[in-house]
Amino acid sequence: TTLAQLIFSDEQIQKHFQLKMWVCVSDPFHVKNIVEKIIESPTNMKEMHTLVGELKEKIDGKKYLLVLDDVWNEDQEKWSRLKQVLMGGASGSRILVTTRSEIVAKIVRTVESYPLRGLDKDDSWYLFKQMAFERGQEPEENSSIVAIGREIPAKCS
């Protein structure tokens, strides 16, 4: 998600795409809900075909970037329906999906996925130390605060 946010906010990306949309998907994965979020019009009264029409109008002929964040649904049929709904943007439109599920990555993959690894213990401690202590105020390596401090990022990994 953090990497996707950096890409989404990048100045070159701003210039490259006419339309940028960010949708936090999580669970449950309902195509109708995702379409509503994309067109920023959540309502229970609209039929799916009406929503699809609004979405097509919004993206028609525009180069868009759509980020689908935190996707967990592994139902290939739902993905196929969503992909059909998202057709119609200009050439060069992109959909970026963030997920922790390798199955989701395989289902949506049209280009290579980029699995990110976590930080090792030393890198986690280094990052934590940089954020927790002022420059020049780092504790001695043998102090009890270091022992406690090393446990904190270890619990996060």
Dump the DSSP string for 97-151: E--S-HHHHHHH-SS---PPPPP-HHHHHHHHHHHHS-TT-PPPTTSHHHHHHHH
Residues 99, 131, single domain; the answer is: no
Residue 115 domain-assigned? no
CB count in 10 Å sphere of residue 21:
19
Residues 21, 80, single domain; the answer is: yes
Task: Give Cα 54 to chain centroid, integer Å.
Answer: 24
Regarding pTM above 0.75, the answer is no
Residues 55, 16, single domain; the answer is: yes
Residue 81 domain-assigned? yes
Residue 101 domain-assigned? yes
Q: What is the pLDDT of residue 146?
A: 78
> What domain range is 126 assigned to?
121-156
Question: Has residue 80 got a pLDDT over 70?
Answer: yes
Residue 113 domain-assigned? no
Alpha-carbon distance of 120 to 126, in angstroms, equals 10
Residues 80, 13, single domain; the answer is: yes
Residues 90, 129, single domain; the answer is: no
Alpha-carbon distance of 137 to 131, in angstroms, equals 12
Tens digit of each residue's pLDDT (9 = 90 or more) over 22-77: 999 876 788 888 888 888 755 565 788 888 888 888 899 999 999 999 998 888 89
Question: Has residue 157 got a pLDDT over 80?
Answer: no
Average pLDDT on 13-30 reads 89
Residues 63, 135, single domain; the answer is: no
Residues 19, 66, single domain; the answer is: yes
Residues 86, 15, single domain; the answer is: yes
Residues 33, 103, single domain; the answer is: yes
Residue 65 domain-assigned? yes
Alpha-carbon distance of 95 to 83, in angstroms, equals 10
For residue 143, give Cα distances in angstroms to 82, 92, 140, 149, 150: 55, 55, 5, 10, 11
